[in-house]
Structure 1
Amino acid sequence: MTRRITWTLLVLTSVLLVLAVVPLAVSMTVGERVAFRDSQRAATRAVAAAAEEHLSDRKPATAMHQELAAAARSGDCAAVYDASGRLVASTPCTAAQGQEAQELVEEVVSGHEPELLENEGRLLTAEPAGEIRGPSGVVVLARSAAPLNARIATLWGWSAAIGAVGLAASVMLSLRLARWVSRPLSRLDVSAQRLGEGALDERAEVGGGPPEVRRLAATFNTMAARLETLVHGHRAVLADVSHQLRTPLAALRLRLDVMAAGAEGDISAELASAQEEIVRLSRLVDGLLAVARAEQATPRPVAVRVDEAVAERVAAWSPVAEERGVRLIASEGTALSVALGAGHLEQVLDNLIANAVEAVAEGGSVTLDHRAAGGLARLRVRDDGPGMSAGAKAVAFRRFGNPEARGTGLGLAIVHRLITANGGTARLEDTPGGGLTVVLELPLWPQG
């Protein structure tokens, strides 16, 4: 944002400076040229007036020579011609003589207004001595254009300096403005990231920046405080539920075990059935607590090696799979690191492997493979069991959503919550030839 604001203001200021300074400099340049030309014509007319007294009135040439001397002292070159174009008098320099001067004399004698000519860095002007229609002579004055060019160069130099100073001031002001706006937003962004990573006590600074940004920071702090209260309340409820439910269930199971030890016949069978229901209820409570914890997960991502986690969980579940007559296979894949909360991938794999091993009949197989795909890590758990119907797949990630589930129906819900909390996706597909495939797409860990 700082760079965007700076460049925007810089471009805008540059355009304004160009639109303001360049036309002003052009206008002043034209004024300098006009003033220089008028000054040169005035000097030429002064010599022409003195030359007219000598050429038409036959007065002594003293005044004419005085004007020529004054022009020479000013650095000008002047020459006086009679009506036939013959040179009458001139300054020591000969810049006012030559082919260009003769052309100007011919134009003036013929009654035309001559144009300003430039020759070897000098500007030549011509004025009639006497009447324009019948002049008694012509005065040609040549003046160096170096002073004019120097003044114009100085004028453009000052204009460029003013533009550069204005541009530098604009850069400084735009940087200060951009930082004034972007710094509070950057701090707010950092606070939002920390809050998303689980730092519920994180708060943004409200002291700096525009009023809108300060209001946004205050709103963020209010939201963070309410979120902290809500999450802490849910965690307290979970702790209470965990304690209040598990303790009586454990006590009830212990009593049933004591009663079953001395029971016989139908009573023993009924107590065994009750014990199974207690075990099932305990698993259900544990599953609900696991789902609730997954829903409240605010993980701080760490680098997790997918290949190592898969190999570890396959090794841990292989004895269970062998006992059921199921082949548990981990296909070789590249070494990939994903960004997940600590322990989340292992928990996800435990739920998926447990579901697959339970669903596959004896002699079946469960295969795990992974690979990089489009900036993500794709992990698949495939089995050749009975699979799922389209309706069951549509609701499988909900709590108790799968009516065909053999267990509590919470395993896929836990998987979905943990994966989505870490910025990944989970979906179900049919395995070619029959069975179910769970496809997980996980964010790769950024390489340093």
Structure 2
Amino acid sequence: MTRRITWTLLVLTSVLLVLAVVPLGVSLTARERVAFRDNQRAATRVIAAAAEEHLSDHQPATAVRGELAAAARSGDCAAVYDVAGRVVASTPCTAAQGEESQELVTKVLAGHEPEGPENEGRLLTAEPAGEIRRPAGAVVLARSAAPLDARVAAIWGWSAAIGTAGLAASVLLSARLARWVSRPLSSLDATARRLGEGALDERADVGGGPPEVRRLAATFNTMAARTEALVHGHRAVIADVSHQLRTPLTALRLRLDVLSAGAEGDTAAELSAAQQEVARLSRLVDGLLAVARAEQATPRPAAVRVGEVVAERVAAWSPVAEERDVRLTAPEGPAPTAALGAGHLEQILDNLIANAVEAVPDGGSVTVDVRTAARGWSRVRVIDDGPGMSEEAKAVAFRRFGNTEARGTGLGLAIVHRLVTVNGGTARLEDTPGGGLTVVLDLPLWRE
């Protein structure tokens, strides 16, 4: 934002300066040229007036020579021509003589008003001596253009200095303005990111920036305080529910164990079925608590070596798989590093491997495959050759109790989906070629 604001104001200032300074410089330059030319013409007319007295009235050439001497002292070159175009008097400098001067004299003697050209850095002007229609001669004056060029250079130099100063002031002011606006927003963004990562006590600074930004920061702090209260309240409820449910379930299980110790026949069968229901209810409570914790997860991303975690969890579940006569493998492959919350990949793999090992029949196989899917993503696949799932079951498998075909609580895939998505990844179910189910996870790679 700082760069965008600075560049916008810089371009706007540049356009305004160009539209204001350039026309002003052009106008002042034109005025200087006109003034210089008028002054030169006036000096030429003074010499022409003295030359007329000499050429028309046949007065002595004293006045002409005096004017020519004055022109020479001021650095000008002048020459007086008679009606035949011959030089009758001149300054020591011969810049007012030559082909271009002769052309000017010819035009003046013919009654025209020529525009004098520039000759070797000098501007030429010609004036008739006497009447314009019937001149008795002509005067050509050559004046150096260096003073004019110096004044024009000064005009454009000052214009450039003013423009540069304006641009510098614009850069400084726009940078200050941009920082004044963007710094509180950057701070607010960082605070929101930390809040999203789980630091619920983070609050934005409301003391800087424009009033609108300060109001936004105050609103954000109010929202953050309410979010913190809700999350803490939710966690407290979960902790209380966990304690209140586990205690009576444990007591009920102990009593059933005591009763079943001396029971026989139908009574023993009923007590055994009751124990199984209590165990199922305990698993259901554990699953609900796990889902609630997963939904509360606000991960702080860390670098997780996917290959190492997969190898560790496969090794941990191998004894369970061997008891069920299931082959659990993890082929060697790339070892990408994913950006995940601490412990989340372990929970994901535990749920998926447990579901797969329980689903496949004896002699089946479960494979955990790791690869780099696309730029910025790591792909983990848990492949089994079990009975698979119907399309209807796959469509609702990631919901709580969505899969009516599940043998367990039906919460494992809901936990997996929540942990994957909260870390910015995706999860989907596919059919295994030849039969079975494949769970595909795309996890974001860690960017150093």
Please give the TM-score of this superposition, normalised by the length of structure 1.
0.98
Q: Which amino acid aligns with 2:229?
A: T
Deviation at 1:59, TM superposition (A): 2.1
Structure 1 unaligned spans of 5+: none
Correspondence 1:57 to 2:94 = no
Q: Which amino acid aligns with 2:379?
A: R
Alpha-carbon deviations, 1:74-106, whole Å to 9, x = none? 111111111111111111211111111111111
Deviation at 1:357, TM superposition (A): 0.6
Query: What residue number does 1:157 align with?
Result: 157
Correspondence 1:113 to 2:125 = no
Q: Distance in 2 between matches of 1:61 and 1:304?
A: 107
Q: Distance in 1 between matches of 2:204 and 2:308?
A: 39
Alpha-carbon deviations, 1:355-395, whole Å to 9, x = none? 00111000110011011122100100010111011110000
Query: What residue number does 1:394 align with?
Result: 395
Q: Distance in 2 between matches of 1:81 and 1:347?
A: 110
Correspondence 1:441 to 2:442 = yes
Q: What SS is found at the alignment partner of 1:433? A: coil
Deviation at 1:62, TM superposition (A): 2.2
| Seq. identity, % | 82
Query: What residue number does 1:381 align with?
Result: 382
Q: Which amino acid aligns with 1:352?
A: L
Q: Bigger CA drift: 206-215 or 311-320?
A: 206-215
Q: Distance in 2 between matches of 1:116 and 1:140?
A: 9
Query: What residue number does 2:415 align with?
Result: 414
Query: What residue number does 1:15 align with?
Result: 15
Alpha-carbon deviations, 1:188-220, whole Å to 9, x = none? 110011001000011111111122212211121
Q: Distance in 2 between matches of 1:75 and 1:302?
A: 84
Q: Distance in 2 between matches of 1:359 and 1:101?
A: 111
* Runs of 4+ deviating beyond 3 Å: none
Q: Distance in 1 between matches of 2:435 and 2:214?
A: 58
Alpha-carbon deviations, 1:403-439, whole Å to 9, x = none? 0000000000000111111111111011111110000
Query: What residue number does 1:345 align with?
Result: 345
Q: What SS is found at the alignment partner of 1:96? A: coil
Query: What residue number does 1:365 align with?
Result: 365
Query: What residue number does 2:199 align with?
Result: 199
Deviation at 1:118, TM superposition (A): 1.1
Correspondence 1:260 to 2:263 = no
Q: Distance in 2 between matches of 1:97 and 1:224?
A: 91
Q: Which amino acid aligns with 1:317?
A: W
Query: What residue number does 2:271 align with?
Result: 271
Q: What SS is found at the alignment partner of 1:136? A: strand
Q: What SS is found at the alignment partner of 1:371? A: strand
Q: What SS is found at the alignment partner of 1:127? A: strand
- Give RMSD over aligned pairs: 0.9
Correspondence 1:167 to 2:167 = yes
Q: Distance in 2 between matches of 1:17 and 1:243?
A: 74
Q: Bigger CA drift: 101-110 or 399-408?
A: 101-110
Q: What SS is found at the alignment partner of 1:419? A: helix
Q: Distance in 1 between matches of 2:215 and 2:373?
A: 42
Deviation at 1:61, TM superposition (A): 2.1
Q: Superposition pairs for residues 33-432 of structure 1, below 5 Å?
A: 33-374=33-374, 375-432=376-433
Q: Distance in 2 between matches of 1:149 and 1:209?
A: 51
Q: Distance in 2 between matches of 1:105 and 1:351?
A: 108
Deviation at 1:9, TM superposition (A): 1.3
Q: Which amino acid aligns with 1:305?
A: R
Provide the aligned length of Structure 1 versus Structure 2. Answer: 447
Q: Distance in 1 between matches of 2:390 and 2:401?
A: 15
Q: What SS is found at the alignment partner of 1:304? A: strand
Q: Distance in 2 between matches of 1:302 and 1:122?
A: 79
Q: What SS is found at the alignment partner of 1:112? A: coil
